Amino acid sequence: MKNMTRRHMLKYGAVGAAAFLTIPVQTISNISSARPSVAVAKNGSPEQLVNTVFELLGGIERYVSPGQSVLIKPNIGWDRVPEQAANTNPDVVAQVVRLCRDAGASVIRVLDRTCNHPQRCYKQSQIESSAKAAGAQVRHLLDDRFHLVRIPQGKVLKEWTFYCDALEFDVFINIPVAKTHSVSGLTLGMKNLMGIIGGDRGLIHTQFEHKIVDLNTVIRPTLTLIDGYRILIANGPSGGSIADVKLTKTLIASADIVAADAVAAELLFDVKAQDLLYLRNAFDRGLGQMFSDQMMIKNQDLANGHDDTKS
């Protein structure tokens, strides 16, 4: 299903007393058997890393066409400055905005549902100012734009509320920061989608390994870029201490969110993908590829120009 058809296929229906937003759900049973491309760029500035991963994946034009609307979802969850690595690097977000603008996007919107006070998070993270300067609309989430959505492929969750921009925009670019997490072990691409759901998100942390997969059957990002410029190696997801931050100057990108998470886990944290229960479940349910030997990994080290592509 092409991303540009998403907003045109939405329809509302009444079921009992509740209004559900019914969306077309992509058949995912054979996705995990595909051989996805994953781009890895290392040892450059945030802007250079963004440019490189898009070059390795064939250019921004593969993902954004002139006139399309683009939603960018970074992690803006915490009242932290960039050096604390609790939020996505603002320079990464801004460069993605610039590339989308240059590709002719009609609207570029940046948003997240925060954990701390929204205005403080947007300001302290420096994402609001950087994204606006690059040409994006930066929006706070509004209660009346959450809609209840059926989850026909859900094993535990059968419905949940989602922010309508994530369902309606033509292109959805997911940009988490790589961090540890007390519940999931790591928080990467799949967990970052909790920033576009409503309701009591604390409930997702019970049976997390199933519920996060259920949510990811509804929202399929066009592209996931995992920000590993600075990573939080302890006391995630909120962090706070610079002692918990590691400078790795890495960016990982793939249209396959499971593959992106798997590569990030192994490359940035030395954690085997199969040791993360939610990733195993996502792979078993056909959401993407978990095993690196079944991926085309395109690896560019900008410090020495080394290309270590694995096919």
Q: Note whether 216 and 224 are within 8 A (CB).
A: no
pLDDT tens digits along 178-187: 999 988 999 9
**129 half-sphere exposure, CB direction, 13 A CA radius:** 8
**Per-residue pLDDT in tens (0 to 9) along the chain, 311 residues:** 333 334 433 433 323 234 555 555 444 544 555 689 999 999 999 999 999 999 999 999 999 999 999 999 999 999 999 999 999 999 999 999 999 999 999 999 999 999 999 999 999 999 999 999 999 999 999 999 999 999 999 999 999 999 999 999 999 999 999 999 988 999 999 999 999 999 999 999 999 999 999 999 999 999 999 999 999 999 999 999 999 999 999 999 999 999 999 999 999 999 999 999 999 999 999 999 999 999 999 999 999 876 666 65
**Structural domains in the chain, sorted by start:** 35-140+170-196+222-307 (3.40.50)
What sign has the CA pseudo-torsion 239, 240, 245, 249? positive
What is the model's pLDDT at position 10? 41
What are the residues facing 58 on neighbouring strands?
A: none
